Amino acid sequence: MTVPTDHRDRAAVRGRNVVPSAAVTGASPVPDTAGAGSTDEVGTRHVAPPVRRTRGAGRTPASLLFLVLTILLIATTLLSAMVGQLFIPPLEVVGSFFRGLGLDFAWLPAPGQQFGHEALWEVRFPRVAMTILVGAALAVAGALMQGIFGNPLAEPGVVGVSSGAAVGASFAILFGFTFAGSFTVPLFAFVCGLATTALVYGLARANGRTEAVTLILTGVAVNAVAGAAISFIVFKAPTSAREQIVFWQMGSFNGSRWEQVSVILPIIVVASILCLFLSRQLDLLALGEKSARHLGVNVERLRIIAMIYVALLVSAAVAFAGIIAFVGLVVPHLVRMLIGPGHRALLPASLLGGAVLLVIADLGARTLVEFADLPIGMLTSLVGGPFFFYLLRRSRAASGGWG
């Protein structure tokens, strides 16, 4: 014979993790804040035990990418300082670095080679610092350009800043201007890069606003004119000036000095930090211009500010290093494929990625050919060209054709 049991007996059998229903106990219903629960057919409510988080469960792909890029940047920077015509062991490089900062650690040896400390601080360290700054600037500028145009194929050269800087540098070399000493050519490049970007924006603006397509087409036209101007300058220049113009356009970090680093460091650091404040608006702009305007984004103002930052970053980068192609195209797109399109993580990750890529490229430029310093713009183009073709093929496959 089966003995009937009420729901309280059943609750006692099921265990402690049972809460009697309000209808039975007469108590007022209490919302469940301890965890998820369910109610069975008798009216008893089962409270799920709290979920125990395992260590590392909240780790995101972005944080992992930041960690990997930071380690790569430290490792490649150390390797670049070690390798050269004079090999310096890693501990001696670190020891020389801290001694140059006024910190003398007994367990870190000084460079054993004669003039090793001077070679590091006068040649290699400023070159590595310049490489990191230029790579970071170009990558951040590329991420901004792709954000404001909504196109992963956009790069800083679209608005004419690189070609304008090349015209300015070529003009200074042709006429032999030296009123600012060794800073004359970089000064002309910086000013003309900014002026060309302003010209592109001014020509593309109509009725108080600009369109992304109009900006791109205007940039293409201005780039064509700038290319023709450079060709004319090269044609008119004497042999020595012609060679200097050609090598400047190829890009190189040979001869980098601390004075040059101190000039571009504040520009690139401040502009990169300011770019982070545009992250939310760039994310909203990715929804489309109309949607972004409905959500309170002043698209025209955002585009103006972003182009100013791009002009500052790229002009400062190419002023001393020359034209270095494809860094602003390749790095942001790779980062976007790894962690997604959110600019709050995309911009700083692109900064680190650009620095790593250019340090590796400069290391190859110094070591691939013995007793020679290859143009770094040539190496980045050798890598960036095939990758650009890959992007085109990928875009074609996604859209179902070239149209």
Tokens of 115: 């003039």
Give CB contacts under 8 A, 24+ apart, made by 58-65.
60/339, 61/338, 61/339, 61/340, 62/339, 62/345, 62/349, 65/335, 65/338, 65/339, 65/349
What confidence tier does 68 reach under pLDDT thresholds 50, 70, 90? Answer: very high
Check pLDDT > 50 for residue 30: no
Candidates 275, 324, 341, 329; CA nearest to 302 is: 275
Lowest average pLDDT, out of 99-113, 132-146, 194-208, goes to 99-113
DSSP letter at 55?
Answer: T
Average pLDDT on 266-279 reads: 95
Alpha carbon distance 124, 342 (integer Å): 35
Cβ count within 10 A of residue 338: 16
Candidates 56, 69, 161; CA nearest to 348 is: 69
User: In this predicted model, what pLDDT tens digit does every residue of 352-386 receive, in sequence order?
Assistant: 999 999 999 999 998 888 878 888 988 888 877 88
Give the residue ranges of DSSP H helices in 277-342: 279-285, 289-294, 299-321, 327-339
Candidates 11, 39, 319, 19; CA nearest to 165 is: 319
**What is residue 279's predicted lDDT score, i.e. its pLDDT?**
94
Residues near 253 by beta carbon (within 8 Å), at least 6 away in sequence: 127, 130, 131, 134, 321, 362, 365, 376
Check pLDDT > 90 for residue 395: no
- The answer to whether 242 and 230 are in contact (CB under 8 A) is no
Higher-confidence residue of 53 and 235: namely 235
- The answer to whether 192 and 165 are in contact (CB under 8 A) is yes
What confidence tier does 59 reach under pLDDT thresholds 50, 70, 90? Answer: low
Q: What does the chain come to in residues?
A: 403
**What is residue 400's predicted lDDT score, i.e. its pLDDT?**
55
Average pLDDT on 29-36 reads: 42
User: In this predicted model, what pLDDT tens digit does every residue of 135-167 receive, in sequence order?
Assistant: 999 999 999 999 998 887 788 888 889 999 999
Higher-confidence residue of 316 and 37: namely 316
Q: Report pTM.
A: 0.81
Candidates 313, 314, 331; CA nearest to 380 is: 331
